[in-house]
Amino acid sequence: MITYPNGKIYIGQDRTDNIVYFGSLNSKLIRQDFTREQMQDLTIRKQILWESEDATLQEVNKIEIEFILKYHSNDPAIGYNRRPKFRAKSNGGPAA
């Protein structure tokens, strides 16, 4: 899980085991949330939520989706994941 200074998160797979890898997210989504000045001095946090020595790619993909849904990082107000597509929960009232 990558956490940006604005508190928004991105959940992805790091199968590189490379300290400088920060995911394959859409940089345009992040860029629009920060001013030029904010980008000149920022701290990004990278957390490993789960790891396995022998999981299949299918298992890793499944776990990734579970974490995206758990942390709601596909909600544009919370994170930068765009899949699975975020669906706001209905309050049960009539449609406007």
In this structure, is residue 77 part of a structural domain?
no
What is the pTM (predicted TM-score) of this model?
0.84
Predicted pLDDT at 93: 47
Rounded Cα gap, residues 67 and 27, in angstroms: 21
In this structure, is residue 6 part of a structural domain?
yes
In this structure, is residue 93 part of a structural domain?
no
Summarize the confidence of residues 11-35 as an average pLDDT. 87
The count of structural domains within the chain is 1
Give the DSSP letter string of 35-57. -HHHHTS---EE------SS--H
In this structure, is residue 95 part of a structural domain?
no
In this structure, is residue 86 part of a structural domain?
no
pLDDT of 22 > 90? The answer is no
In this structure, is residue 18 part of a structural domain?
yes
pLDDT of 91 > 70? The answer is no
In this structure, is residue 32 part of a structural domain?
yes
Instruction: Name the residue range of residue 67's domain.
Output: 2-71
pLDDT of 61 > 90? The answer is yes
In this structure, is residue 84 part of a structural domain?
no
Summarize the confidence of residues 83-96 as an average pLDDT. 68
